[in-house]
Amino acid sequence: MTKPTDTNRSGHAGLDTLLDPLTNKGTAFSEEERDALDLWGLLPPHVETLDAQLERAKAMIAEVDKPIEKYLRLRDLQDDNEVLFYSLAADDLPGTLPLIYTPTVGEGCVEFSRHYQHPRGLFLTIPEQDKIPEILAHPRFDDIEVIVVSDGERILGLGDQGANGMGIPIGKLSLYTACGGIDPAKTLPILLDTGTDNKDRRENPTYVGWRHERVRGDDYDAFLDAFVDAVKGRWDHVLLQFEDFAQANALRLLNRYRDKLCTFNDDVQGTAAITAGLLMAVAKSAGQKLGEQTFVIFGAGSAGCGIGRMLVSLMVDEGMDEAEAYAKFYAIDSSGLLMDDGDLKDFQKPFARSADDLKDWDMSAEEASLLDVVKNAEATVLIGTSGQSGSFTEDVIKAMAQHTDRPIVMPLSNPTANSEAAPQDVLDWTDGKALVATGSPFDPVCWDGKEYTVDQANNAYIFPGVGLGAIAARAAKVTDAMFVAAARKLAEIEDTNTDGPGHFIPPREKLREVAQAIAEAVARQAVSDGVAQVDFADDGELSKRIEERMWKPHYEPSQGGE
């Protein structure tokens, strides 16, 4: 949600109109609008088109070199003129996405307090818990359809950033609009400020958040309950997306609230869907089934195990027994390979191996290393969700290449500095055999005298379409089957090429088309699951309704103008 005003958007006049990024057109206000809104003297006299403004904005971004500098200029533009900001994003989605979200948003969060200027979204703190219903009740929030909320504890691979984590909900909602066509006036970023254990943040004089150690336990849960109850009581239907919560809370909170309202956790479910969709596309291109692969997940947290659970579900759909499907996985966390005699979280237990599974293994030490697991399990797919930079070493990748013609390597950790491997290295170590997809954007790779773009398994391929479909269907909840439908639809979109590192999903410039296709699949699944509160006569009506909902950046005539 952008800077609030106490009057209807169409009733703004004068300076208020210029200060609201949802209504500001800057130099594009016509002479008639300047008369009607009393804008003369507040703007330069020349009246420009949106296209002319766009060219100047592009030049403004291009004149600085560092990604963080570009990010800050884009954020300033967003806080000044949302139509122009999204016109710039639409003009070059592949170039803009890494600046408004990963990887640059990570540095943006680190620097958030130092550059804080304009109000955007809501900061809700535990001392204000009783005021949450009153805060949400303001008429400025009447039309909200999508909320992204974070508590700032696990910002990408950067850890606890406290209130600085607000950059994540802001950035995520920017992608909802840029890729999914959600009207920016109907979005609301929220940061639940429960304190921070990051001492450097608390003691920094520029820090804008609540200077208190992070609250946990019953008080934390009571605060989250109060927030969710307030959201549920405020809107007849709203999509609530949880983002960048710590591993200990991510899946727990998802399970706590998923049946109460339309909600999901993108780190758990969106990451699983993009990974599964890409792997289905790879298998499809090779004429194989997922069950023919052997998977090693390095980083067996809520995201890594979420990927595994979705892949198991898909293998069961292929006809495989569930226990047989789980046996295809070897999952490793910070303590090593998950073993059934270890201290495991509930979501990890299905992936645990027994001592008998390892009795014939040739290992370098008593505890199995990643290299030991890859060698002995004869892994064909290596998935990284660890946040451990460089953990996919040359020895590990070469071991994969010894027993599979096309090893599939997916270093998914964000930001780029936390990636488990660089795609160029993976290609070099496998003599060009590896199929590679990353979580963060990388420069093109070179092999055999040719340059190739590397697939980015970016959640932006999934969550905008899931959100759009859930809103269109007014889904009472987001089911697992809706995410499976999203993954399947992504895999169905024909855009594959096995040259170089492989190319299995559409290029990023087609993200809006992908979102529309996924939204239709998700809405149909919501109807099939019995959670949709509206129905569609046929696919034609559904497609029309989805397309009509997709906002495009354009200037609407202001009241009193042409």
Which amino acids are annotated catalytic? 101, 172
The terminus-to-terminus CA distance of the chain in angstroms comes to: 27
Other CB atoms within a 10 A radius of the CB of residue 513 amount to 13
> Tell me, what amino acid is at 403?
H
Structure token pair of residue 235: 């809107």
Q: Three-state secondary structure along 343-410?
A: CCCCCCHHHCECHHHHCCCCCCCCCCCHHHHHHHHCCCEEEECCCCCCCCCHHHHHHHHCCCCCCEEE
Cis bond upstream, residue 103 (ω within 30): yes
What is residue 326's three-state secondary structure? helix
Task: Give the Cα-Cα-Cα angle 177, 441, 271 (nearest 5 degrees).
Answer: 65
Q: Residue 523: phi, psi to the nearest 5?
A: -65, -40
**Nearest partner of 135 among 193, 184, 181, judged by Cα:** 193
Q: What angle do CA 169, 173, 177 make, to 5 degrees?
A: 175
Is 301 in contact with 265 (CB distance < 8 Å)?
no
The residues, any chain, with a CB within 8 Å of residue 298's CB and separated by 6 or more, are 304, 332, 370, 382, 383, 384, 385, 386, 388, 391, 392, 420
Q: How many CA atoms lie within 13 A of 199 on its CB side?
A: 0
- Cα 129–chain centre separation: 27
Provide the H-helix boundaries in 81-122. 82-91, 93-100, 104-110
- Please provide residue 553's backbone torsions phi and psi, each rounded to the nearest 5 degrees: -65, 120
Euclidean distance between CA atoms 538 and 513, whole angstroms: 20
CA distance 386 to 119: 34
Cβ–Cβ < 8 Å for 229, 189: no
Cα 151 to Cα 159: distance, rounded to the nearest angstrom: 11
Residue 125 and residue 210 in contact, taking contact as beta carbons nearer than 8 Å: yes
Give the whole-angstrom CA distance, residue 443 versus residue 326. Answer: 35
